Structure 1
Amino acid sequence: MIVIRFVIDGEPRGKGRPRFTKSGHAFTDQKTRDYEKLIGYCYKAQGGKMLEGDIDISIKAFYKIAKNDNKNIKAAKRAGEIKPTKKPDIDNVIKAILDGLNEVAYKDDAQVVNVSASKYYSDEPRVEVIVSRI
């Protein structure tokens, strides 16, 4: 089994909604394209390589704790007693990660057979990803 771990620093982002031209063609917005490029860059820069076969992905999204939260709320968030129920939705975070790794970690995201994802609070916002070839 091959296991590759990498981190994307900064606030987690989700896949943006598709935009449409006047002629009806769909396209991905620039912010989403930039984030997907960052995901691929982080994967390669932290030792990632192209994998073949069945792929398993684990995602942990860490959201920034608000500065104006009181100390009890901050402590509960750090301990994982309070989890983020804010945007972006976890399914959109998953989609951004999978699309960002497409043609970088695997030829096509159809190779991904298992995904687990969760949201947490942290003083250091980031996304931790584990890519495994089963």
Structure 2
Amino acid sequence: MKMTLNIEPKPQTRPRFSKFGTYEDPKMKAWRRQCSQLIEQEYDGQFFDGPISVDITFYMKAPLSVSKKPTPKARAKTWDMFKRFTSEMLWHFKKPDIDNLVKALFDSISKAGYNKIDKKGIVWTDDSIVCDLRACKKYSPNPRIEFEITELE
């Protein structure tokens, strides 16, 4: 089951503490809610409750130094980087950490269509059933998240 979420990837933030207790960043909550809604609208695959493999690619927004079209007199290295960026072949090796991106996505998938009575969502019972994971992040002119879930034997 393959799926593309047209939403800019965002890393899971750490909980904050105050004298009133712990709380989560409201922007993070809003992003996860939006991501879960996208999954609910577009997901039409099977429900997973056994061991699965997940393959994720996070296409990240690039800084202006990478995404801006170089001048005709620019160095060959600059042109090469720009071409790799436009063809989505340029690795994103800066922050945010990939594990925090995965956490935010998995939480959104788990919450999509969550039923309090059955204690499960529309995609899987819980992200603990993920036994094999491959994740990568690349720069792209079109930020999004693509993932594929396959059942393991």
- Residue identity over aligned pairs, in percent, reads 25
1:62 match = 59
Give the secondary structure class of the aligned counterpart of 2:43.
coil
Instruction: Write the letter of the residue equivalent to 2:91.
Output: K
Report the Cα offset of residue 132 of structure 1.
2.3
When structure 1 is superposed on structure 2, of 38-47 and 75-84 the one drifting more is 75-84
CA contact (8 A) 1:64 1:123 kept: yes
Give the secondary structure class of the aligned counterpart of 1:13.
coil
Q: Alpha carbons of 1:52 and 1:119: their partners in 2 closer, same or farther (altered >3 Å)?
A: same
Report the Cα offset of residue 14 of structure 1.
0.6
TM-score normalised by structure 1 residue count: 0.81
Report the Cα offset of residue 9 of structure 1.
1.5
User: Can you list the C-alpha shifts for 1:37-79, whole angstroms capped at 9, x where unaligned?
Assistant: 2222222222245321112211101112334445313113234
Instruction: Write the letter of the residue equivalent to 2:124.
Output: Y
Report the Cα offset of residue 115 of structure 1.
1.3
TM-score normalised by structure 2 residue count: 0.72
1:94 aligns with 2:105: no
1:131 match = 149
1:82 aligns with 2:90: yes
5+ residue gaps, structure 1: none
CA contact (8 A) 1:55 1:113 kept: yes
When structure 1 is superposed on structure 2, of 94-103 and 38-47 the one drifting more is 38-47
Q: Distance in 1 between matches of 2:34 and 2:51?
A: 24
1:39 match = 35
Give the secondary structure class of the aligned counterpart of 1:31.
helix
1:19 aligns with 2:37: no
**1 or 2, which has the higher strand percentage?**
1
RMSD, aligned α-carbons: 2.1
Count, aligned residues? 130
1:112 equivalent among 130, 143, 150:
130
CA contact (8 A) 1:16 1:32 kept: yes
User: Can you list the C-alpha shifts for 1:72-104, whole angstroms capped at 9, x where unaligned?
Assistant: 131132345531122221111011111111143
